[in-house]
Amino acid sequence: MSAQALSGITITKNGTITFANTCSTSDLLIEYLQGETTEAILLTRVACIQLLSRRRESPGDFLLRLTYLAEHATYDGTQLIVFPAYTAFAYLTLAYPEAQLYFGPGLAQGIRRIWPSYGASNFNEFLDFFKGLARKHRTYIVPGTMLTPTGNGVTNTSYLISPAGTTIGTQQQTHLNRDERGSGFVNGDDLQVFATPLGNLGFAICEDAWYPEVVRILTLKGAQIIIAPIAVPKPYSKWHQVRGMWQNIQQNQVFGIESCLTGFLGGVEFEGRSTIYATCEMTPGDTGVLAQAKAAHMEDVFTAGLDFIKLGETIRRFDIFSQFNVPLYKQWFPHLYREYPPH
């Protein structure tokens, strides 16, 4: 498969949804099991980084720490590394402390104020740093999220970087909570799926992970792995996490990588327990968890193998999407399901 954005569902601000022809996860895997295709991926090894944000650290030491974390993440042949939300913002606050950037009213204005003289160059240098790591380790990297100016606010955007050090594509956060809106965040209005040799990748950024529509739409577009860069204010709640990514992974029969920020940043203390998810039937004790950070308050790096053959077998036993009540759904979501199934 080529690394490119799949054409599929496009959601605009006026609510128009178009649905193009993409291969669903279940069909691709079942075709592989039946010998009808050779495109299914057998095993993808991924790494999840739980980053501790420190209030006092030099920019150089921060980059050295990220370098070490990436080194540690790739020791067993990792093909994809995911960093948490606000990784770039953490670097910006360390590199330019006099800007006094804090979450809340004035954040977007502050970023926009420094962007022409410092922010843009800082952003490009930071992105180039991750491109260098991707080339060095020959792996795909998601460098968390980056806050970039748009209109009168900022967007929270994830980047997907290839092993060649090129930007494959970007995804903006599409759902915002009250605090994010109060900080001047502007939501995106599009959801994309990116085809790579590792599988089809989609993003659920921060608040997006708690909205079932996001992961369902991505899955209908063909996503097989959902990447979720996350930053949630303290205190950590296991049940809040279950309400988000865990249930979305179970209800869509896909893999999930939830990378969490922890520590102090922008006047807020964050906590989260990073997790790599799969369907319950594929995990020890039917927990739905393939691997997880040791605790919610510390830095950690861990890996897991995403076994697409096991996933295909699970889907073959109980294919959620084959049991859709499409006539019912079309009454309420006519645009989304008007061309279902998408092939």
Q: 124-163: per-residue pLDDT in tens?
A: 899 999 999 999 999 999 999 999 998 889 999 999 999 9
pLDDT of residue 105: 92
Determine the Cα–Cα distance for residues 122 and 36; give it in Å rounded to an integer: 48
Q: What is the CATH topology of the domain spanning 42-309?
A: Nitrilase/N-carbamoyl-D-aminoacid amidohydrolase (3.60.110)
Q: Whole-prediction pTM value?
A: 0.86
Looking up tokens 């900022």 gives 154
Contacts of 211 (CB under 8 A, 6+ apart): 175, 204
Confidence of residue 329 (pLDDT cuts 50, 70, 90): confident
pLDDT of residue 42: 74
For the chain, give every domain's residue range.
42-309
How many C-beta atoms surround the C-beta of residue 221 within 10 A? 23
pLDDT of residue 340: 65
The DSSP result for 99-163, as a single string, is G---SSTTHHHHHHHHIIIIIHHHHHHHHHHHHHHHHHHT-EEE--EEEEEETTEEEEEEEEE-T
CB distance 241 to 156 below 8 Å: no
The two most distant CA atoms of the chain are separated, in Å, by 61
pLDDT of residue 338: 66
Confidence of residue 256 (pLDDT cuts 50, 70, 90): very high
Q: What is the pLDDT of residues 48-58, one digit of tens each?
A: 999 999 988 99
